C-alpha cells in the first residue's frame, strides 16, 4: 500500500509542478505583452484647449465674439440670431482643428 501512496504522491506532485509551470508561463507572457503594448494616458490634460498656445486661444475667443457680435447686430429675427449663434459655437472646435492643426 505504501508503494501505491508513493505513486499517487508522485503523480500529484507532477500535476502540481505542471500547474505551477503553466502559471509561470502565463505570468511571463503577461509581462511580455505589457512591454509591447504602448501605455496610453487616460484622462484630461487639465486645460480646455491643451494643444493651443495662449495667443491662439485668444484669437479663437476674439473671432468667436466678433462673429457673435456681428450676428446680433446685423441679423433681424431673433430665431435666426439664436440659430446662427448656435452654429458658430458648435462649428468653432471643428474649424479650429481644421485651421490650426495643419502641418506645413
Q: What is the pLDDT of residues 17-76, one digit of tens each?
A: 999 999 999 999 999 888 887 777 666 555 555 677 888 889 999 999 999 999 999 999
pLDDT for position 50:
63
pLDDT for position 46:
57
Q: How many residues does the chain have?
A: 104
**Bigger pLDDT: 81 or 53?**
81
Cα–Cα distance list, 64 to 82, 94, 104 (Å): 14, 13, 25
What's the rounded Cα separation, in Å, for the pair 55 and 66? 16
Q: Which pTM was predicted?
A: 0.50
What's the rounded Cα separation, in Å, for the pair 64 and 88? 7
Residues 6+ apart with CB under 8 A from 89: 64
What's the rounded Cα separation, in Å, for the pair 10 and 4? 10
Which of 13, 98, 30, 102 has the alpha carbon at shortest distance from 60?
A: 98
Amino acid at each position: 500500500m505504501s508503494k501505491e501512496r508513493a505513486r499517487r504522491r508522485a503523480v500529484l506532485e507532477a500535476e502540481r509542478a505542471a500547474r505551477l509551470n503553466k502559471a509561470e508561463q502565463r505570468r511571463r507572457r503577461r509581462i511580455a505583452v505589457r512591454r509591447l503594448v504602448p501605455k496610453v494616458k487616460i484622462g484630461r490634460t487639465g486645460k480646455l484647449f491643451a494643444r493651443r498656445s495662449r495667443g491662439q486661444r485668444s484669437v479663437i475667443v476674439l473671432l468667436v465674439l466678433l462673429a457673435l457680435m456681428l450676428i446680433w447686430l446685423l441679423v433681424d429675427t431673433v430665431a435666426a440670431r439664436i440659430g446662427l449663434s448656435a452654429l458658430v459655437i458648435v462649428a468653432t472646435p471643428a474649424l479650429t482643428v481644421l485651421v490650426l492643426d495643419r502641418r506645413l
